[in-house]
Amino acid sequence: MAKVRISSVIDAPVEKVWARIRDFNGLPAWHPRMVESHIEDGKAATDIGAVRNFKVASGATIREKLVAFSDGDHLTTYSIIGHPAPISSHTSTLRLERVTDGDRTYAVWTAEFDAPADKADDIAKGMGENVFQGGFNALKNHFAGNG
């Protein structure tokens, strides 16, 4: 099983960062690689089992299912159920924690998935750098007033 873990500190209070990212359908509003998204079957974006169907800037379509959500814990967990890469058994969690020094946010985005042995490292690297770190960089820029 391949694993990815990326963390970052964002210079904004956890409540503000969570307000920006908590909408499971809101990726295009804060992540530069995501260009459009919709929740299937009329479910709410915070309903466990909701499926978001979104496109990335490259044109690929990805479907993800919300499996856990907590406003109190500032946490969302989802699984990929449709992706052009050869992955399966994927689960990702994005969690925010309060940093009391300067009222900042510690963000951790993790993933576990199965992939062919010859592709797993490249997929994990791309997911970590392009998706997770790219999202954190966009959040940092937004809260610094640059985005």
Confidence of residue 102 (pLDDT cuts 50, 70, 90): confident
pLDDT tops 70 at residue 80: yes
Give which of 141, 140, 131 is closest to 33, Cα–Cα.
Answer: 131
Burial of 58 (0-12, 13-18, 19+ CB in 10 A): exposed
Helices (H), the chain: 14-21, 27-30, 117-126, 134-143
pTM for the model stands at 0.93
Round the average pLDDT of the chain to a whole number and report it: 95
Q: What integer is the mean pLDDT of 128-142?
A: 96
